[in-house]
């Protein structure tokens, strides 16, 4: 198991971690790479890494959908929006690899989605061999 550290700079942010993940993939076997965050106000996702407008459109949409100051929220830390986004986007990502390369599509990158930063986040990474 490996441990990747990611530092966010803003309350909401999508940070690409593809390069960091790829350098830990073993050359000599095929399998899946499982990524897991040990936090409840951020997420992992796979999405486009070409045009940065895709990431800002996504973060902007999620903010309009789930406003931080939604008047019904009762949780005292003012981050219920971040907890909800975390469960909708998800706390793990699974990507297959072959011969030391992640099998991502041409436009895909792996992102940590920060919803309640800035913070230091930890991503656990485990490789599992194909049957």
Q: How far is the CB of 103 from a second copy (least distance, A)?
A: 6
Cβ neighbours, 10 Å, residue 106: 7
The answer to whether residue 24 forms part of the interface with a second copy (CB under 8 A) is no
Instruction: Give CA 123 to chain center in angstroms.
Output: 9
The answer to whether residue 100 forms part of the interface with a second copy (CB under 8 A) is no
Residue from 5, 19, 27, 64 that binds a second copy (CB under 8 A)? 64
The answer to whether residue 4 forms part of the interface with a second copy (CB under 8 A) is no
The answer to whether residue 95 forms part of the interface with a second copy (CB under 8 A) is yes
Residue from 18, 20, 108, 119 that binds a second copy (CB under 8 A)? 108
Say how far apart CA 91 and CA 113 lie, in whole Å: 10
The answer to whether residue 78 forms part of the interface with a second copy (CB under 8 A) is no
The answer to whether residue 72 forms part of the interface with a second copy (CB under 8 A) is yes
Say how far apart CA 5 and CA 124 lie, in whole Å: 9
CA 96 → CA 27, 55, 71, 89, 125, distances in Å? 13, 23, 42, 19, 13
Residue 120 burial (10 A CB sphere; 0-12, 13-18, 19+): exposed
Query: Site residues (CB under 8 A) for a second copy?
Result: 1, 26, 29-32, 34, 36-40, 45-48, 51, 53-54, 56-58, 60-62, 64-66, 70, 72-77, 80, 83-84, 86-96, 98, 103-108, 113, 122, 124, 126-131
């Amino acid at each position: 198991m490996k441990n990747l550290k990611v530092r966010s700079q803003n309350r909401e942010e999508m940070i690409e971690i593809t390069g960091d993940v790829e350098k830990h993939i073993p050359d000599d076997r095929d399998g899946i790479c499982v990524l897991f965050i040990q936090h409840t106000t951020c997420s992992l996702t796979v999405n486009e890494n070409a045009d940065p407008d895709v990431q800002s459109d996504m973060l902007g949409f999620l903010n309009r959908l789930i406003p931080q100051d939604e008047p019904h929220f009762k949780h005292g830390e003012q981050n219920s929006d971040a907890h909800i986004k975390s469960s909708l986007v998800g706390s793990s990502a699974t990507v297959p690899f072959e011969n030391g390369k992640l099998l991502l599509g041409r436009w895909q990158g792996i992102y940590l989605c920060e919803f309640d930063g800035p913070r230091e986040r930890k991503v656990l990474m485990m490789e599992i061999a194909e049957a």
